[in-house]
């Protein structure tokens, strides 16, 4: 029998959602300053245990809040989330503040501009309270590799919060903020959401601008949201979604009303269950939780259908293809961090080569070095066709698997991870075991499709279990509809 987790930082279910706080703001029952002061107080009380934030800028946050309050008092029409506190993963540029990516090499880098998503949340009146901790350069599944120390899971502080957006997930779960932005390259929003018992939405690749997101793997990276519930995810995604001319991969398509999708009935929707996702290696309690979610949807009128994913459902194909593509792109993207124009630079090198070698050796952590070296090897002469090109061919097969699956169903229901959150330190020295935590999430990024993680109950020892829904490209409305119904079932205790 597993040991129960250590005492939680705080119980999450009784905390208000962003929608509820926004309603109180509009009704004059509270102020943006009061909400931000409460957020800052929660951060001060919780951070010694959780370490979810890399930096907090209280003066700036309070000034933003006061500006929202002034506009509201003057009768200015504001967005539905104006005045609500928000945390931003420290991989997104916020003008005038540090953007570290959890790395020593960028520990003192000050961003000269706002990422597009940051500019959009500012324009919508959300208040940025700080930058959240993360695995270094988003390379990890546990938020243990940060130069600024590991983040702990608020539900069980001796366990990991997941990664790489573990700081954002932990901040929402601990009540330090009500909303957060993260990034998802292979599950980095959805897996920590599942481990921490919150909601994590990864939109379709290109639905949200990547401008100002420090790149890990450019063909896989996508900005996503972490929130208390599905409706909040819809509201925040509404703010950040849409075409951006600064991002060549940004899709120039209309953005629908995501919040309306949360109220749509699931009757008639076809929910697929892929047999490959319920094979050996899946914790029985996780499997049972996913089954309960499926049966709840069935009772609400959804039709459960069996689906096969011959390539996308097999870890030996997905994990291998994902890490080859991601590491190859990382080796190219991280070449810019050499200590010449910005970031950490080695002291008194003897020559240019020594400057590069010492700067990167000192500036990057072990996991980042591992991925750069493996990616460079996969791209090198004589190995490109054998590794990188083959991985891209497998990626095409994975996309075709999903294209075929969505002709027979509207959404797929899968686990988020094979187990609940593991203990701090358990996998940090075992890269392969760490990579296998992403077995149910990486194929989504390879295919560029949207996915969402929602709470599906807790294990026998009190750790959150996440359920994941997948949909066809640009079908976020379908995701939000089935996820909201699954969430209602969990709230009522029905799944």
H/E segment holding residue 132: strand 127-132
Q: Determine the Cα–Cα distance for residues 93 and 70; give it in Å rounded to an integer.
A: 26
Q: Determine the Cα–Cα distance for residues 212 and 267; give it in Å rounded to an integer.
A: 40
181 CB burial (10 A radius; 0-12, 13-18, 19+) = buried
Q: Strand 411-415 vs strand 464-470: parallel, antiparallel, or unpaired?
A: antiparallel
Is 89 assigned a catalytic role? Answer: yes
Spot the catalytic one: 31, 103, 168, 188: 188
Q: Determine the Cα–Cα distance for residues 86 and 281; give it in Å rounded to an integer.
A: 36
Spot the catalytic one: 39, 164, 183, 209: 164
How many residues does the structure list for the chain?
495
Following DSSP, what letter does each residue of 189-235 receive, concatenated?
THHHHHHHTSEEEEPPTTTB--TTBPPSSTTT-EEEEEESSHHHHHH
Give the single-character DSSP code of 433.
H
- Taking the mean position of all CA atoms in its chain, how far away is CA 344? 27
In degrees and rounded to multiples of 5, residue 476 shows phi and psi of: -60, -30
H helix count then E strand count, the chain: 16, 11
Is 142 assigned a catalytic role? Answer: no
Distances (CA, A) of 50 to 4, 37, 168, 175, 182: 18, 19, 11, 11, 17
The residues near 263 (Cβ < 8 Å, ≥ 6 apart) are 484
Spot the catalytic one: 39, 89, 103, 209: 89
- Reduced to 3 DSSP states, what percent helix, strand and coil does the chain have, rounded to the nearest 5? 40, 15, 45
Residues assigned a catalytic role: 89, 164, 188
């Amino acid at each position: 029998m597993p040991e129960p987790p250590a005492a939680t930082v705080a119980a999450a279910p009784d905390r208000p959602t962003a929608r509820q706080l926004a309603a109180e703001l509009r009704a004059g029952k509270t102020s943006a300053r009061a909400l931000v002061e409460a957020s800052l107080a929660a951060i001060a009380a919780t951070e010694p245990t959780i370490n979810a934030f890399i930096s907090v800028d209280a003066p700036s946050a309070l000034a933003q809040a006061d500006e929202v309050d002034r506009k509201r008092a003057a009768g200015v029409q504001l967005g539905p989330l104006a005045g609500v506190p928000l945390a931003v993963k420290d991989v997104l540029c916020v003008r005038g503040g540090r953007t570290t990516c959890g790395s020593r090499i960028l520990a003192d880098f000050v961003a000269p501009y706002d990422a597009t998503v940051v500019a959009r949340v500012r324009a919508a009146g959300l208040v940025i309270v700080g930058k959240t901790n993360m695995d270094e350069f988003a390379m990890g599944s546990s938020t243990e590799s940060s130069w600024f120390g590991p983040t702990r899971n608020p539900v069980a502080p001796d366990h990991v919060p997941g990664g790489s957006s573990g700081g954002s997930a932990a901040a929402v779960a601990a009540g330090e903020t009500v909303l957060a932005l993260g990034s998802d390259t292979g599950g980095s929003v959805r897996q920590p959401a599942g481990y921490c018992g919150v909601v994590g939405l990864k939109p379709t690749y290109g639905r949200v601008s990547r401008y100002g997101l420090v790149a890990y793997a450019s063909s896989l990276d996508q900005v996503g949201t972490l929130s208390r519930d599905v409706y909040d995810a819809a509201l925040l995604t509404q703010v950040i979604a849409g075409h951006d001319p600064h991002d060549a991969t940004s899709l120039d398509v209309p953005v629908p009303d995501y919040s309306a999708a949360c109220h749509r009935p699931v009757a008639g929707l076809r929910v697929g269950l892929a047999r490959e996702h319920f094979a050996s290696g899946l914790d029985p309690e996780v499997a049972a939780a996913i089954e309960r979610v499926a049966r709840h949807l069935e009772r609400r009128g959804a039709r459960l259908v069996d689906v096969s994913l011959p390539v996308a459902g097999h870890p030996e194909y997905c994990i291998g293809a994902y890490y080859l593509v991601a590491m190859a792109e990382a080796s190219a993207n991280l070449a810019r961090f050499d200590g010449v124009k910005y970031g950490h630079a080695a002291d008194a090198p003897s020559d240019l080569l020594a400057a590069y070698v010492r700067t990167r050796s000192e500036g990057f952590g072990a996991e980042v070095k591992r991925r750069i070296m493996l990616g460079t090897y996969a791209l090198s002469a004589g190995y490109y066709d054998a590794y990188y090109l083959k991985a891209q061919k497998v990626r095409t097969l994975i996309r075709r698997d999903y294209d075929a699956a969505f002709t027979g169903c509207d959404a797929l229901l899968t686990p988020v991870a094979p187990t609940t959150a593991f203990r701090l330190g358990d996998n940090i020295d075992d890269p392969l075991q760490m990579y296998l935590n992403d077995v149910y999430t990486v194929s989504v990024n390879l295919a560029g499709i949207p996915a969402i993680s929602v709470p599906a109950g807790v294990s026998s020892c009190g750790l959150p279990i996440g359920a994941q829904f997948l949909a066809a490209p640009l079908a976020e409305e379908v995701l939000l509809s089935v996820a909201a119904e699954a969430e209602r079932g969990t709230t009522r205790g029905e799944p």
